[in-house]
Amino acid sequence: MTIAWASFTPISAFLGGCLIGLAAMLLMMFQGRIMGVSGIIGGLFGTASSAEHGWRLAFLLGAVAGPIMWQVITKAPIIWQAVASGPQFYIAAFLVGLGTAIGSGCTSGHGICGLARFSPRSLIAVMAFMTSAVATVAIGNYI
């Protein structure tokens, strides 16, 4: 896999990051919750109240519907490429789930919200995420 630098759009990337930050801030302001996707999904399967289920489902629906709405409005195709399939996909998904359970959160919770709150635990978690990401890419390119 290579990066298509000619297609890199820093303005849209910046605006997308601003929207993610705004969403995290609004969720904290109105629900008092961290925008960690693993926690949001996990809360759907816990003992949360129906009001808790409502905002969690709305968040997930928006995460799925947002790109579809963008595609309809702009007529621009959403280009994606699967980087894993078959057993590799399921093993990777299991390891991501295991990591979020062990790390008490995912990249969105620790990286976006935790670092913004100056959480030492989140800083350590993000350093571990990034270290393992760099190692995975290095090993993947070597193999």
**Does the pLDDT at position 7 exceed 90?**
no
What does the pLDDT look like over 26-42, one tens digit per residue? 989 998 888 888 888 88
Q: What is the mean pLDDT of residues 131-137?
A: 88
Q: Is 100 exposed, middle or buried (0-12, 13-18, 19+ CB in 10 A)?
A: buried
- Work out the percent of the chain whose per-residue pLDDT is above 90: 16
What does the pLDDT look like over 72-81, one tens digit per residue? 998 888 777 7
Residues whose CB falls within 8 Å of the CB of residue 57, separated by 6 or more in sequence, listed in order: 44
pTM over 0.85: no
At 139 the pLDDT is 87
**Does the pLDDT at position 1 exceed 70?**
no
CA distances in angstroms from 50 to 27, 41, 81, 84, listed in the order given: 17, 14, 36, 36
